Amino acid sequence: MERAREIERSIITTYRKGIWSKFVRGVKEFRLVEEGDRIAVCISGGKDSMLLAKCMQELQKHGEKRFELVFLVMDPGYAPQNRELIESNAALLEIPVHIFQTQIFDAVVDVQKNPCYLCARMRRGYLYEEAMRLGCNKIALGHHFDDVIETILMGMLYGAQMQSMPPKLWSTNHKSMQLIRPLYYVCEQDILRWKEHNGLSFLRCACKFTENCATNEEDSKRLEIKRLIARLKQTNPNVDINIFRSAYNVHVDTLIEYDSEGVRHDFLSRYKPKK
């Protein structure tokens, strides 16, 4: 119990500026938590979702709003040692996890094209379904600041599109359910510092497709983007902030075409004669 208390205290003391203050800022600024919410905190076993679970626990204890939490772990077919690591970390951190089983890994094992995309979609769907079954109105994911800026660049460089990762959104297929991202302003480096400071070891990659996680991560597009941002920061330390802020400063009139609520708006239809 004392170990858990030390880890909790480090969030609001040692890492108050880098983690706790930014977490609270995001929750308040985007109104991610409301009175009476019942939120399913989705735990994959990695550092981000485990930190999110602890932050949400602390917010529940010390925040102004009253809300309920369910700590949701989906086992898509983990190897025994990976599930054991999740369970042991949850016990260490005093996170009362609710684990439910699926067979997603087996379902996508023979998929040749974009198995990771299909797996992610299926996982999200199962999480929504279980959260609804447990009476939740929101699911919380551990996406952080770096995920946001990497998504912006990946969309441009590899997807030929301009889009961001919003701090919250309504589910398309599960009405009345919302997805929230409370770590929106928290940088990955601060999460790593918190993990290392407390001597914690979390699950990195448990997918059957990527058992050799280091090799596969080297080849990932996201890692390429991470490296690109790191290089750019050597000459412009604020480049990550600028990428993030670009999603706040979108000048729609200069765009050739954009999509809003499923409707395409092309340049010529908006180009009007001067009066």
pLDDT tens-digit series, residues 128-147: 999 999 999 999 999 999 99
pLDDT tens digits, one per residue of 42-59: 999 999 999 999 999 999
The per-residue pLDDT for 43 is 95
Looking at residue 63, the DSSP 8-state letter turns out to be S
Rounded to whole angstroms, how far apart are CA atoms 136 and 118?
A: 24
Distance from chain centroid for Cα 205: 15
The per-residue pLDDT for 215 is 43
Which residues of the chain have a pLDDT value below 50? Answer: 211-218
pTM for the predicted model, two decimal places: 0.89
Distance from chain centroid for Cα 104: 20
What's the angle, vertex CA 260, arms to CA 258 and CA 262, rounded to 5?
105
